[in-house]
Amino acid sequence: MESRLTTKKALARALQDLSRAKSVAKISVREIAGRAGVTPVTFYNHFSGKYELMAWIYNMEIAPCLQNLLAGRTWRDAVCGFVGALRGSPEFYRNALRNTSGANSFRYATNNYAIGAIAERIRLRHGPHAAGEETLFYLKYYMRLVAEAVNDWFLGGESIDLAVFADRLVACMPDPLRPLLEPSPERGGRDARI
């Protein structure tokens, strides 16, 4: 298991290094594998393509934010964590966001991961039936809104303060999601009002 993770990290580092010099859209799997010191076959043993690798990099960084939701942190905290991950490697993420598009893009892959992880968080916290069809509908489209807003804000030069931006995204949350995503005061939530 450790070997697989080490290989994934080497591939991630290779992609990030290569993205400093050119658009991620123009980087090939062969280049990534070569830079990591493995074969393309080894690459495909770990990822279906470079977009999945890009998403894996981001998803590994936001995983603690999503896990913190289980620990009673607020949705606002999670949004700030999502942005914090982007700020940790701004050139790489700007490249990934600007130079990928479509249903298999970095943006969709990361968003689908977050939707799945949040749905699982809802099931764990509120029971298996809490993430039913209606909840998943609201969650999917709210997360698409969050992803597009974060994308525009991040690529647009972070034109408003992160705290204000996070508050506005929380304000857009559909009412049916609020009791599922925000901790209640009796469960140890830091700010149940948001």
> What residues contact residue 134 under an 8 Å CB cut-off, 6+ apart?
176
Any domain includes 189 = no
For residue 191, tell me if it sits in a domain: no
Residue 5 pLDDT level (bands cut at 50, 70, 90): low
In a shared domain, residues 69 and 42? no
Same domain, 42 and 114: no
Is the model's pLDDT at 191 over the cut of 50? no
Segment 9-58, tens digit of pLDDT? 999 999 999 999 999 999 999 999 999 999 999 999 999 999 899 999 99
pLDDT of residue 46: 95
C-beta neighbour count of 121 within 10 angstroms: 19
| 27, 15: one domain | yes
Residues 34 and 101 in one domain: no
Say if residue 133 is in the same domain as residue 175: yes
**Total count of domains within the chain:** 2
Average pLDDT for residues 85-105, to the nearest whole number? 87
Is the pTM higher than 0.85? The answer reads no
b/e 73-93 (16+ beta carbons within 10 angstroms → b): bbbbbbbbbbbebbeebeebb
Does residue 102 belong to any structural domain of this protein? yes
Same domain (yes/no): 79, 117: yes
Q: Which amino acid is at 67?
A: Q
Q: Are residues 53 and 129 in the same domain?
A: yes
For residue 2, is pLDDT > 90?
no
**Is a pLDDT exceeding 70 seen at residue 86?**
yes
Q: Could you give the 3-state DSSP secondary structure of residue 182?
A: coil
Report d(CA 33, CA 64) in Å as an integer.
28
User: Do 124 and 165 share a domain, yes or no?
Assistant: yes
Distance CA 14, CA 164 (A): 35
Say if residues 139 and 118 touch (Cβ distance below 8 Å). Answer: yes
**What domain range is 89 assigned to?**
49-183
Q: Are 27 and 57 within one domain?
A: no
